[in-house]
Homo-oligomer: A and B are copies of this chain.
Amino acid sequence: MCRWLAYSGSPISIYDLIYRPEHSLIDQSKHSTMGAETTNGDGFGIGWYGVGVEPGVFHSVEPAWNDRNLHDIAQHILSPLVFAHIRASTGTAIQQTNCHPFRHGQWLWMHNGAIREFPTVKRDLILAVDPSLYPSIEGSTDTEVFFHLALSLGLEDDPPNAVAEAIGLIEEVGRRHGVEYPMQGTVAVSNGEKLWAFRYSSEGDSRTLFYSTDVPKMRELYPDLEILSVVNDEARLVVSEPLRDLAGAWNVVPESSYLVVQPGPDESHPFTPKVPSSPTSMPAGV
């Protein structure tokens, strides 16, 4: 349904992240091996923290494998925190406002998966978005609504809790509408300082997600791997699908868990959705 990559570490060229690896994200746009679809050609996006006041985003409706602007821009931007996403639409329109990552102030958000039967549940979910945030929804995807639910539920203060409540709400609304497994997917979110990556689905059978092995250990395993000489010890990749076929390089993010990539040791925690305590913005009877 999509493929994504998130990087945190010393500043690196986006080109080195998304074009150079053997089974790069650009390669996955045409030849994904673990995705629900082989082809992820319904637009793409990158987001990065850099010299601008807000993180930058670049969205395109072209397949990533074709986009010459991406090829150039990727070579000219160095960043310590990068999101990249290739899209396989589950039905919503191919337009820039539907491309990930989505941005709100300092926050970036991207998603692989789906809110199931979204047309059925969309209105109820929209009603739960804080009215002050509502006007900033520009596209028609489930992911953008999901992001705005998390923002409404305190993403900027406590991301794991806000994501747990957003998914709890999505599951509650979905089940009320007879959806057996309302939520599926992996999510990455960042404020430019930390990176959170979630893997969860209502059916307990989530889209794949991997994180890279510690750089110091990788250097022991692969002393000649060029990329390891340009990144610092803290560098970490989180990806839908491994970029290189290297034994010991990739670790599965466990089912129903989330990672925190941050200065100092990174963390992994179990993840459980919870129903929002005070969905005050929801009209009575919804």
**A contact residues vs B (CB 8 Å cutoff):** 13, 15, 30, 38-39, 41-42, 48, 50-54, 56-63, 66, 68-69, 72-73, 75-78, 89, 92-97, 119-120, 122-123, 126-127, 131, 134-135, 137-140, 283-286
Contacts of A13 in B (CB 8 A): 51
Min CB distance, A111 to chain B, in Å? 19
B48 contacts A39, CB within 8 Å? Answer: no
Q: CB-nearest residue of chain B relative to A89?
A: B66
Partner of A93, one of B92, B96, B283, B284: B96
Bound complex: CA A68 to CA B139 (Å): 14
A-B contact pairs, 5 of them (CB 8 A): A41-B63, A48-B76, A59-B69, A62-B62, A137-B140
Bound complex: CA A139 to CA B137 (Å): 10
B56 contacts A72, CB within 8 Å? Answer: yes
A62 contacts B60, CB within 8 Å? Answer: no
CB contact under 8 A between A69 and B66, given known A76-B51, A123-B135: no
Contacts of A94 in B (CB 8 A): 62, 66
Contacts of A284 in B (CB 8 A): 283-284
B135 contacts A122, CB within 8 Å? Answer: yes
Bound complex: CA A56 to CA B78 (Å): 13
B140 contacts A138, CB within 8 Å? Answer: yes
CB contact under 8 A between A72 and B51, given known A39-B41, A96-B95, A284-B284: no
Contacts of A72 in B (CB 8 A): 52, 56-58
Min CB distance, A130 to chain B, in Å? 10
CB contact under 8 A between A123 and B134, given known A41-B41, A59-B69: yes
Contacts of A30 in B (CB 8 A): 39, 41
Contacts of A52 in B (CB 8 A): 15, 72, 75-76
CB contact under 8 A between A97 and B95, given known A52-B75, A73-B58, A284-B284: yes
